[in-house]
A = this chain, B = another copy of it.
């Protein structure tokens, strides 16, 4: 019996939907979660709008073990993630006393209303200092609210990742010269014999080395190896460029 943890990610950002910035946080989180044996079930990119964020939270949070958000947590008008998560959970937004004190100590006389916005949290938020970060991560229910700035997002993901770690996925890869349509029947047969296998087939155009990359995965290493052996026994030997 393997341990199964599921996650989802809500990316908040007009800058991504309008094509100004390419979202790299999704791919980073996907890789890190996979490495930790966590199944990322959904990524949703939404605009800086409270009700849209709230709807994403209402839809996704009950369906996964962990929901991450990326972006929209700074001091400016377009930072509405806290308000969106609060509305999604039916909770209020409160100024967190410990954060307010930290900000007052840090900024002193220069403190303004925008600084104080950084102390606004969803009611019931726990402050998480994992990874020795200078500013804590906000967690409320099963939701981790992460900043969108890539350097900080990555730092926090790396600090949090291991607490979700479960049994890892085992991955084997076959590179083949054949077209997908020529090997589809072999893939179907492999799945018929190994129905729990995670089997992917990814064509590549204009690559001199191979045409299709086949991925075989499971949390059961022996199962993957047996499925790989079965597939290789069906494929014409000259079709296989290499395996990984």
Residue positions of A touching B, CB distance < 8 A:
14-24, 26-27, 30-35, 39-47, 52, 74-78, 112-115, 117-118, 149, 151-152, 169, 180-185, 187-188, 191, 198-206, 215, 217
Inter-chain contact A185/B114, CB cutoff 8 Å: yes
| A40 nearest CB neighbor, chain B only | B17
Is A184 touching B30 in the complex (CB atoms < 8 A)? no
Contact B16 A201 (CB under 8 A): no
Measured CB to CB, the nearest residue on chain B to A111 is: B181
Q: A43-B45, A74-B201, A205-B151 are in contact. Are A185 and B19 (CB under 8 A)?
A: no
Which A-B residue pairs are the 8 nearest by beta carbons?
A19-B31, A114-B184, A19-B30, A43-B45, A114-B181, A22-B27, A76-B201, A19-B34
CB distance from A233 to the nearest CB of B (A): 18
**Known contacts A15-B215, A45-B43, A181-B112; is-contact A149 B203 (Cβ 8 Å):** yes
Given the interface pairs A44-B43, A115-B181, A185-B113, the reply to whether A191 lies near B23 with Cβ below 8 Å is no
A76-B180, A185-B113 are contacts. A33–B19 as well, Cβ < 8 Å? yes
What is the chain B residue whose CB lies nearest that of A150? B205
Pair B78/A199 contact, Cβ less than 8 Å: yes
